[in-house]
Amino acid sequence: MAHKKQTFAQQFLGVVTLGMPAPVRQVVTSRWVATLIIIVVPALVLTGILTISWKGSQPNFTVNSKRAEQVERAVEQETTRAAQELRSLQDARRR
């Protein structure tokens, strides 16, 4: 069976998950999941929703639910504002 070339994300997560069981590694290193993890995890860390601390050689992940709610509200407000602005621009065009 021919192997497809792995993306950088798949290769990276393959190395990071070396100690994990094979079924978990297969899911994490699949093309779409690996790409999603490489994009989503840094975004969550940058927004303060996810924090990573190290206990010895193992990472400890903590989710800040209050920060997640704050970010969600901010995104909702920005989305509403952008939609209103788009509507006003469309109305201005029609005139």
For residue range 12-25, list pLDDT tens digits in order: 999 988 888 999 89
CA distance 16 to 40: 16
Residue linked to tokens 């989503």: 40
Position 94 scores a pLDDT of 82
pLDDT exceeds 60 at position 56: yes
Position 20 scores a pLDDT of 87
pLDDT averaged over every residue in the chain? 90
pLDDT exceeds 60 at position 1: no
pLDDT exceeds 90 at position 65: yes
Task: Please give the single-letter amino acid code of residue 58.
Answer: Q
**Parallel, antiparallel, or unpaired: how do β-strands 58-63 and 50-55 relate?**
antiparallel
Question: Predicted confidence band at 68 (pLDDT cuts at 50, 70, 90)?
Answer: very high
CA distance 86 to 92: 10
CA distance 15 to 4: 17
CA distance 22 to 91: 56
For the stretch 75-92, pLDDT in tens is 999 999 999 999 999 988
